Amino acid sequence: MHIAIDARIVNSSTGTYHERLIHYLQEIDKTNTYTILVPTKDLNYITISNPNFTVKAADFANYSIEEQTSFKSFLDDLNADLVHFCMPQQPLAYKGKRVTTIHDLTLIKTYNSDKNWLIYHAKQLVARYVFKKIAKTSKHIIVPTQFTKDEYIDYTHISPDKVTVTYESADVTIGTTTPYSHPFKKFIMYVGQQSDYKNIRRLGDAHQKLLTKHPDLGLILVGKKNAASYKTESYFNSKNYKNIMFTDFIEDAQRDWLYAQCAAYVFPSLMEGFGLPGLEAMGRGAPVISSNATCLPEVYGDAAHYFTPTDIDDMSRAIDDVLTNDALRQDLIEKGYNQLKRYSWKRMAQQTHTIYLQTLE
């Protein structure tokens, strides 16, 4: 059989899912042929080791008219037996067999203030229709957590039998890390985007409260700077906040060094589909302090110390607990290593492969 995988956002934060899926499918499936669809700029992003896999350029913008027209024609010409859309955006009129991965419902449930209000809400209207439409047109839906499965079923009213949870994972490679220069004796950290629902302003607020008791404590925010992070930085500056550092883009080896050196990794998010950075932190020996919202307790289990993300006092309380209680800190580190062992990218790929074969029957 010929299976196509729409990986047009492979070179992004969500793209880790695409890259790991394709990596392990090459180990698992030596029988079927695969065409991996990526933008021209990412033609060399994926390493191909299986001769049954090829990478093909597909330059069609997400949530665009050309996605609905030109991409549909492109897929018709490709004539695959199955297309796996690794995100909800896809040509709705496509008639071939399809499987879709829904990572979360963030787009339809949140608003990012760094975006154009009119354009964003227009995009949300389209997305609400798309999320419901693909529940019917897809042969199967893949989600990363039970929370997302329940949320998607509640939104679309499709049968639970049509939705499968394939937990993701975090790769922690053994190798050298690269020190990252910073001015702090002790620091907490966050890795990722800084959209409104990531709740970074409240993390900054909580951090400033902690300075009364921990005056040397730094907060390092890791991630490429964009409109959202500049707005957050402006907010902190307007409040005269101190001991906060924005790294902008850094190499993975530097990020991993920070994970290993931090006093704690703090994940304040209001909404997640999986929460990959927390597992990355656990794999590097960082105690994780997490929001108790959405899927995060499901993914982290008892390996994280939780707080209510809308309560700044509760957030600062949880962080202080870990900073001042060495027994709690060591317990979280040990449980974090064990929690990460529960997840496997290869198992996720095997489950996905099984879904492919069942869909093709």
Tell me the sheet residues that pair with 189.
Answer: 220, 265
pLDDT for the residue 191: 97
What pLDDT is recorded for position 120?
Answer: 83
The mean of the pLDDT values for the chain is: 96
Task: Report the run of H or E that residue 90 belongs to, with start and end.
Answer: none
Residue type, 47: T
Instruction: Judge if pTM exceeds 0.85.
Output: yes
263 closest CA partner among 309, 207, 313: 207
Q: Which parts of the chain have pLDDT scores under 50?
A: none
* Helix (H) or strand (E) segment spanning residue 353: helix 345-360
Which distant-in-sequence residues (6+ apart) come within 8 Å of 326 by Cβ?
none
The per-residue DSSP string of 260-306 comes to HH-SEEEE--S--SS-HHHHHHHHTT--EEEE-STTHHHHHGGGEEE
What does the domain layout of the chain look like in residue ranges?
A: 2-169+344-360, 186-340
Q: What per-residue confidence (pLDDT) applies to 33? A: 98
Tell me if domain 2-169+344-360 and domain 186-340 are identical in fold: yes
For position 1, what pLDDT does the model report?
97
Query: Which amino acid is residue 74, in one-letter code?
Result: F
Topology given in CATH for the domain delimited by 2-169+344-360: Rossmann fold (3.40.50)
Q: What is the CATH number of domain 186-340?
A: 3.40.50.2000
The Cα 187–Cα 219 span in angstroms is 5
CB 278 within 8 A of CB 296: yes
pLDDT value of position 334? 98
Contact 309, 293 (CB under 8 A): yes
Residue 103, pLDDT score? 96
Residue of 269, 264, 298 whose CA lies nearest to 282:
264
SS3 per-residue string spanning 207-247:
HHHHCCCCCCEEEEEEECCCHHHHHHHHHHHHCCCCCEEEC
Beta bridge partners of 219: 188, 244
